[in-house]
Amino acid sequence: MKVRIKALASVLSLVVDAPNSSVARSLILQWILDEADRTGGNKHRIRRNLIWSNHVRGSNATSAFASLVWNAAANRQHDPLVATVRPGTDEQDLRDHLASLHRPLTSAEWVAVQVAEHDLDRRLTKMLLKRSAMEFNELRSLVGLWLARWGHDGTFDDVLAAEGEVKIGALYNFLRGKIRNHHFRRGAEPLERLRGALTEHETKMSRETGSNYRTAGSTHINSEAPSVIVHLDQEKQEAIGFEFVDTGESAEDALIRVSEHADLMQFCRDQVVVNHGAAADRFSRIFERMAKGQTVHEIAEQEDVSEGRAVKLAYEIRSGLREAQVNRETARQILKMIEDEPFSTRQEIGEDLAIEATIVNDCLNLLINGGAISEVGGESYVLTKNLNS
């Protein structure tokens, strides 16, 4: 590399991080002074060899040269500067040095810049909205989630190193696939199926057969729907009255079912509190959302967590309640024993009913939390109220 190109390379490396051309100008002037001190040369000659040799002259030559160098180094506008050197070896040496100044942007950096400065997530959302049934905000949230994930995983690192950018058309195609999968996954979630969501296979079969494929609704509700008998005026063929015939359960059975359901729900609420200790408030709130039929997407949105996190929280609740159902009958046995033998201790309960100590502790905590029993001195227990009251 020739001396003149080496000097130009040194200046380029110096100004690559300068925020503007004015700062670059100050750095170049300081470099000229430092170079004169280092070599013992004349600063005016060094300035002339650096600036004039690159075909920049006139009263504002230093400022013009600083702008030219800064744009090449900081803004990657290489061609104007390269045009000032001789074609061939000088040009190639300069281009190689300019290329070495910049490490490729990481995926995370590129995504951050594109979202902040070019509204990438909104642009992609508008493009995808034309072929999606999702609402704008829901779709934009999903787009943002995938951009963040791709940035974190370094998905575009190789492309950025080779090309310096990622084509928006490629991102659009990737996101279409992700949204398509997101849509069809709803068909595997029970609550979404009750609302009519289908899997990809079911949708495909519906199209191929030409049938209006629909998931069954709530069989519990449908089985109890009353039959309607329409009374007609035979001459006028007009409806003159309706008669509803209840084909479901009796009033007594309905009351029993409602009472049992209320008891079960209260048991679940108490068990959630026992299972999750200090986090009981949050898990209780999520349990109530689940009981109301909210999907994990709705829970995630209202709890301000990711959908994946909402799935894990719901799983923890279901898993804990599943295990608790095994203890529910045991808790009833313990409650009956305390009614028959007030002031029974933990040890006596475990020995008389042949139950492990850990299960006894869990059941007693559940009964205390539910207000059915109270603990008195010596880890013995009595009913809070008589079972028959």
Q: Is the pLDDT of residue 103 over 70?
A: no
From 79, 75, 57, 78, select the one nearest 21 (Cα to Cα). 75
* Stated pTM of the model: 0.35
**Average pLDDT for 343-360:** 85
Instruction: Give residue 317's pLDDT.
Output: 85
Reported as a single tens digit per residue, the pLDDT across 210-232 is 655 554 444 444 444 445 454 55
Which residues, at least 6 apart from 139, have a Cβ–Cβ distance to it below 8 Å? 125, 128, 129, 132, 179
Instruction: Give residue 189's pLDDT.
Output: 59
- Given a contact cutoff of 8 angstroms between Cβ atoms, the answer to whether 274 and 370 are in contact is no
Question: At residue 308, what is the residue type?
Answer: G
Domain residue limits, the chain: 3-100, 107-188, 218-248, 254-383
**Average pLDDT for 339-354:** 86
Reported as a single tens digit per residue, the pLDDT across 18-75 is 888 889 889 988 988 998 888 888 888 888 888 877 777 777 888 888 888 888 888 7
Average pLDDT, the chain: 77
Reported as a single tens digit per residue, the pLDDT across 280-294 is 899 999 988 888 878
From residue 221, alpha-carbon distances to 218, 247, 259, 345 in Å are: 5, 12, 18, 45
